[in-house]
Every structure is written in structure tokens, then in C-alpha cells.
Structure 1
């Protein structure tokens, strides 16, 4: 399951983005921090499940900022293919937020995509055998990124409860940069994640992996170069193998202060892994950190755990019951958690909520426009670029949620 708080995908000409360029949103970090999203396009309102005004239709065209006039759960029956230069602004959904349920999504060609505060939950009825970005209950890889993709960041995101019999967090494999910061991998039998290529894995939490393993270090003849820094691994009821598996001399890892709590005693009492190949499944331990665009503020692993449990997932305006349950599992520190083979669809939120008045339909409520010198009867001002470099609607979207 992947619950996206912030996913940015920036397929840029250079392998490492220019830090001086405009951030995708305040708090965006890592390889994908400069994704443009729909800044030069138009606003699209999601109002229902199908046809014009549907999420599927919203994602089908490039250069859009997608806002939601409906909350609760939107059901999809076929895979949604996301176009490039899209900003999916889940923080605009009324009520307790938005969930996309069923099948899955493909971001294969979604250059410069930004996705925030949205829950993608697949389920048993989805297609198997394909890599996909989805939310809860993926049937194959729950959240995978692979191929010739450049400059991707996944931050503050829940990736968990992949459905048996192929319960996987997912593959993270690219030779052109994937950043994984402050995410929670939970209740996946294996691949939490499986990493190949250029990867930066910092301040993440991995809980209750199964016999397939937690962090899988390459397991191939290809060369990999990864930072693995200040993460916290916690065994749960399903855990039967160590945190790191299947490494070899082709996987070159810089490792530092990764904590492991393996005793399942209900108390957080982990300690740092030794900095030796024996603790990291025979990977090639590096003495120097790879020069990747890391997080703005690196936390010690115990502090990262506290932060992740408080902030991870689509938590604006509040977590749904599924995410609350997953966080509670981690807080049991080894006592709770399970691998599942089917979802509990009855736990999905079906409350639609009430959307704020938006007279000109530009995606910015009247009350905000009136308070900030915009014209609530002129739709054209939403996409005008402000002095900050963001479009006016992006300034509004950024104001809804804290900087990540």
C-alpha cells in the first residue's frame, strides 16, 4: 500500500537537479525536488468517478493542476495512466481527504509529476504482474519505480500491506537517482524496498517484513550505489529474517547509524548495526558518502522514527482509519502486525465532505482570494506566476499544508 504524502518525479536533463531552481513545493527534497508539475498549464476539478470531471480524465492530459471538489473514495476499475506535468493536489479534497481505490496507476511517462496528500489503495481486484504506483493492498509490487527514470523523490509516504501471495513493498531501481526520505514500509513480506542503481535511503522506518526480507541490496550483477543512513528497522510478528539480505560485491553502500530492534518485546530498544559487511548482507561498504542531494535536516534514527509516526502518509486534514491502524502497529514495537491476502474495503472512507465556495472555478476558494488580493470572479489569476515563482494557485496549495 502506498499512501502518498509527497511524491515528486522530475525527469530532468541533468542527473542531479540544480538546488538553486524553484522547489516543487516548500520542503521538497532529493533528486526530484525541482519537479514543475502543472505550473504552466490549467486547473482541472475532479467532481466524480467517471467521464468528464473524473480522476481518470484529470490525469489523462498534460499540464494540469488537479484539485478535488469531492472527498472520500473514488473507485477506478482500470489502470489510470498519468500524463506528464501533472500536480495532483490531494490536499484540496474536502472532508477527510481523498482515496483512489482499485486497480492502480502508472507514472511511466509522467515527467515532472507532483503528487501530494492522497491515498492510492489497489486491492485484490486489481491487475497483477505489473509494476505500479498504488496505495493499499498492491497485488504485485505495491510501489515500484524502475527503468530510465531520472530524479525521483518519495518522501513522507506509507508503503505497506502488499497482498499475499506476492506481498512486496516494491522495486526502486534507476541509474539516474531515486531519493527515499522519511517513509514507512510496513507489513510487506519482501522488498522493503529492493534497491538497484543510484539510491538515497535516509530516515526511513521499516516494520514487520516477512521471510522475503526488508532492505534487499541489489541481488544482481548490475552495479548499485546507495546511501543508507539513519534508518530504523523493527521486527514484527511476521519477521523471520534480518533487516538486510541478498547483498553482494556489486552493491556499493555507504551506511551509517541504521538502528535495528529485533526482539519483538513491545519496547523500542534497538541499537545501531555494525558497520561491517556481516551486518549488511555482504554489500561493498563504502567509507565516503555518495554526493546526492540529501534531506535538508537529517535526523538520528530514533528521532526519525518519532517524526515518521507523527507525520507520514496523507495526514491532512487527518489520517483515515487504515493509516491510523498501521501507525498503531509500529507503536506496538513488535507485538502487532500481519501479512494479509485481501483488503478490508469496508474500512475505506466514503464521506464526501463540503467544498468551499469558488465562484470563478479557478481552484482557489473565494475566501482565500478575497484575503490575498486576488479576484474571486476572474479565473485567469490562478495560473499567473506570483513574485515567489509559483503560480497563485500553487501558493494557495502550499498554504494548506506544512512544509514537509
Structure 2
């Protein structure tokens, strides 16, 4: 059935708030990282390892006012000489979602975060066997307030993401992929953080340290997928006289045939004083360990935890503490049931290409292979990126070069965008505060800038269309919901800037006809499948002039 849906007059308005998150959708302990808000704009114009216009120069020359890095090119960048590229400055946003075409791959080295208030989105970090030994991303003791959103990490020769020295404070890793730490070490990450959140992320094909958790304050481990591990979530594994705590809620632990693991959480130890040093709260997690190649996990409660619980008057020799309620002081997280979280992560975990006019895939080759392994329950540990047979560019994935839309004033917002929204394409007005109607979701707090509205537009499914034009081909909403079943049904709401007609199986295809006025448009779309899983997302449309 085809239904015509009319323009809604509703507009998204921003509301007053005490704190402005890093971006709409930022959650967890790192949610309030300031990033480059209010600072300058640096445009990456080439793929060189260093020099003017390079990524390296952008991250190593941050002014005190802060910086937002945008990309006018796509392709792969070799991190300067294969060594650690260190971000010593603070107040930085790296907006990988602004890259055209295939997006950006950073390879052959480590990005080290030593500054504070860091926001990194939609980038791929792949170290590789031929690079110098090390991690994809490191956070050292000076890093406070950092959020990594929709990043893809793989091929670390030590860990994929680690922190060390004095524990960094306030980290969020969300909507990301951490996979294929290379054998023989093959580690997901050393997480010596104070307060940290990991949610809606996939950790897969890592031998161990998934993660190795030593949270000085609290680790929130929520709505993640752990897949094909040998040694899973490590609870300290040390006799340090510490008081580590974790909330483990709403996760899906999945074992492929040939690698069945009974205890996803393991290796608690007694401290030097003979007392447990790790306390954990466990709730509503699913564990699939029957090896039948079907996703059918069950809630095993405390049986997913290895070791012996400490009970003062019954078992004083227990090596971990069971908590009956979540650790207080948690951040505010929107928590899904484990199956819905699984579907969301499979659909949109990692760095994405969200422009509906892009004729390639939403994920790149490496991440497509990874997600196929998860959904088809395939065991697949590797020793080198070259072991991913059939993946281009010797296993790194192919990233073609492309140029972005013209931006004459180099303020990070293309001319066509500024003209459509009545900004001045000849003036660096990126730090003007947004007031009133915007692309931001309803109820978004005040404080965001014009540039941040554009970054939000680029971080959700989106499209540029000329006034009066019709989308050809039609928008395929199933592109953004691949984790949901083939019986999925789609509904639209809050349509602005034009009209929309739905068609195709379950209403997945949308023909949008733009109105006669340039400006903001779009709709919300909700997918619902036979399991009852449901997800509402924004589709943003910029209606341009001619």
C-alpha cells in the first residue's frame, strides 16, 4: 500500500538547559565534553601524513579557544610516520561525518589523547601488522571528558583502545566497533579509567581484555555485544588494594560454534589485604552459548560471572562482590532491552556513510565483514589484516578519494547549506548560537552553534534536495535498519519541508517531494519488526535553492 503523508508544521526548538552535551545523543560520563565549540575551524584538504592541510597539523596545533576539524576529502591517512600522533591540546572536535564519499581511514599508528574535552565521531582507526607495534587509540592520564562516537577500531597489535597512568576521567565510547585485535596478543582494551561508559558497541574477535576493567569510580557497561572471545570482560585481574565497580546491564554475550564460553565476566582476584577488589551489578543480560548458529540467548543471571561471590558471614573467601542494585552516581543512560540493542548496533555501529544520495554501502568493507560474522555466528580470529580474504586494500578496505561541497569561507559549513538556511556563505559565522527552529531534535538544550547544527545534520540519515524536486531513487529506510527482521514495517511522522509517499515492502521506500521554499525539512521514521523491537530515528533534509 502507498500512502501520501502531508507536511507537518511542527518545528524542532531548542530549550534552555544548565548543560549542553557534546552533541544530541551524547550519553554517559563523557557526554558533556565541550569539544571545539566556540573555537576555530580547521579543514583537512589532503591525505598527507603531515604538512599544511593535513590531519596531523590539525590535531597538533589546537588554539586555546578550541578547534573543530572537518574534512574536504575522503580516503586513507597514514598517521605521521607510523608513530603515536599525540593530541596535547584541549577542546577539540574531529567531525569524521563531514568527509565526503567513502569517509576517512586512519592507519598504521596510534592516536593518543592527552588533552581534555575531546569529541571524535565517525572515524576508522586500523593499526595494522606492518605499522609500529601499538594500539589504535590511547588515553593517557591528562585526558578528562572525552566521547568517542561511531568509531571503528581494528587491527591493534597491542590493544585496540587503552588508557593508563593516573586513570583518565569521564570517558564515553558509544555506537562503536572494537574488533580483530591481531593474534597472538589480540586485545580489546585496558580500561584503567575513573568514570567511564561503554554503550551500544560491539567488541568482537578479540582473544582477551574485552575489556580488562579497572574502574576507579565506575564503569557503565550497557547494551553492548561481546562476540567470539576467549577471555571476556576481565574484573580487575590484580591483587591491588582497589575498589573497582561496574554496572553490567542489558548486554548480549554471543558465542559462535567452536568457541563456547560459559563465563563472559571473569578473573576477579583478592587484593593484597585478602578482600575482593571488584564489585559488580548484573541485570537483564542475554548469553547465547548453545552453538546452534541461531541467536537465542537467555538471561543466566549471575551465572555469567566467574569466580565466587563474597559473603561476609557465609563465604568470606569469595573473590568478588555481588551488588543488589546499580552503583549510585551513574550517568543518565537510555537503556534498551538486549535484543533491541543488538539490532541497533548491527544496524548502525561504527563509522557510517549517512548521506542517502551516496551510492555505496552504509559501512565499509571491513565493518561489513565484521557484522556478517556476528549475524552469521562465525568464529574468525586473525593474525594479520591480510587474513580478511576478499577485503580490498590488503584487508584495510578501499577508500576512494573524493572532494566535499564548496565552502568558500572555510567555516566548516558548505555554501549550499548556508544559503538554504539563510546564513552568509561569505562570513565565518560558524560560532553563532542557534536559536528557535533547527534540525536538532525536539527539546534539545540551548548552547549549540551553527556549525554544530550542520554536524548534527551530517550525523543522522540525511539528504540535500532542491526545492520542488523529487527524490530519485527513493529513500530506502532499510539501509539504516539492517539489524531488524525482513518483516520490518516503517511509519513516518513529523514531516516538514515537503510531502512523502511510502511504498515497497513494509513501507521502506520513501519518495520525498520538496516544497517550494528552501530551508529545513525531513521526518521521523519508526521501524517495528515481528519481535516487537522498535526504533525511531530522524531523517534530515536540507531543501536548497536551485
TM-score normalised by structure 1 residue count = 0.89
Quote the residue 1:66 is aligned against: 69
2:93 is paired with a residue of what secondary structure? strand
Query: Does the residue aligned with 1:399 lie in a helix, a strand or coil?
Result: helix
Distance (whole Å) between structure 1 residues aligned to residue 379 and residue 27 of structure 2: 30
Aligned residue number for residue 133 of structure 2: 128
Give how far 1:259 is off.
1.0
CA–CA separation in structure 2 for the residues paired with 1:241 and 1:68: 42
Residue among 206, 217, 222 paired with 1:188: 206
Corresponding residue for residue 399 of structure 2: 350
Task: Name the SS for the 1:135 alignment partner.
Answer: strand
Deviations 1:173-206 (A, max 9, x none): 223x000011100100001111112200000000
| 1:365 equivalent in structure 2 | 414
Per the alignment, residue 91 of structure 1 pairs with 97
CA shift for structure 1 position 280: 4.0
Q: Distance in 2 between matches of 1:23 and 1:172?
A: 23
Q: How many residues are aligned here?
A: 378
Deviation at 1:131, TM superposition (A): 8.0
Moved more, 129-138 or 239-248: 129-138
**Contact 2:179/2:204 (8 A) holds in 1:** yes
Q: Is 1:265 matched with 2:314?
A: no
Moved more, 358-367 or 132-141: 132-141
Work out whether residues 136 and 159 of structure 2, in 8 Å CA contact, stay in contact via their aligned partners in 1: yes
Residue number in structure 1 paired with 2:83: 78
Bigger radius of gyration = 2
Partner secondary structure for residue 395 of structure 1: helix
Q: Closer, same or farther in 2 for the Cα pair 1:157/1:164, shift >3 Å? A: same
**1:116 equivalent among 114, 121, 128:** 121
Decide whether the 8 Å contact of 1:179 with 1:200 is kept in 2. yes
Aligned to 1:303: 340
> Do the aligned partners of 2:252 and 2:338 also contact (CA within 8 Å) in 1?
yes
CA distance 1:20–1:218, change in 2 (3 Å): farther
CA separation in 2, counterparts of 1:393 and 1:24?
A: 13
The alignment partner of 1:382 has SS state of coil
Q: What's the counterpart of residue 186 of structure 2? A: 167
Q: Is the counterpart of residue 226 in structure 1 residue 246 in structure 2?
A: yes
Task: Tell me how far apart the structure 1 counterparts of residues 85 and 111 of structure 2 sit (CA, whole Å).
Answer: 5
SS at match of 1:339: coil
CA-CA distance at 1:148 after TM superposition = 2.8
Question: In structure 2, what is the Cα distance between the partners aligned to 1:287 and 1:79?
Answer: 42
User: Is it true that 1:155 corresponds to 2:153 in the alignment?
Assistant: no
Question: Structure 1: 5+ residue runs without aligned partners?
Answer: 1-18
Cα gap change, 1:292 to 1:30, in 2 (>3 Å): farther
How has the CA–CA distance of structure 1 residues 238 and 187 changed in structure 2, closer, same or farther, with 3 Å as cutoff? Answer: farther
SS state at 2:367 partner:
helix
Picking from 235, 239, 248, the partner of 2:259 is: 239
Q: In structure 1, the residue corresponding to 2:154 is in which secondary structure? A: coil
Q: Which digits, 9 at most, give the CA deviation of each residue in 1:340-392, with x for residues without a partner? A: 1111343422311231011212110011101112100112x012333331121
Which of the residues 374, 377, 382 maps onto 1:340?
Answer: 382
Residue 44 (structure 1) aligns with = 42
Residue of structure 2 in register with 1:391 after alignment: 449
Q: Is the 8 A contact 2:127 2:134 kept in 1?
A: no
- The CA deviation string for residues 253-300 of structure 1, in whole angstroms up to 9 with x for no partner, is 011011111122210111012236x73433311012112444542111
Aligned pair 1:55/2:55, yes or no? Answer: yes
Call closer, same or farther: CA 1:258–1:168 in 2, change over 3 Å. same
Alignment CA distance shift 1:149-1:95 (3 Å): same
Work out whether residues 238 and 338 of structure 1, in 8 Å CA contact, stay in contact via their aligned partners in 2. no
Would the alpha carbon gap of residues 126 and 375 (structure 1) be closer, same or farther in structure 2, given more than 3 Å must change? same
Q: 1:26 aligns with which of 19, 24, 27?
A: 24
- 1: CA distance, partners of 2:267 / 2:23: 36
**What secondary structure does 1:275 align onto?**
helix
Asked if the contact 2:74/2:104 (under 8 Å) is kept, the reply is yes
Q: How many angstroms does 1:301 deviate by?
A: 1.0
C-alpha separation in 2, matches of 1:155 and 1:342: 26
Structure 1 residue matching 2:417: 3-state secondary structure: helix
- The Cα of 1:215 is off from its aligned counterpart by 0.8
TM-score, normalised relative to structure 2? 0.66
1:104 matches 2:102? no
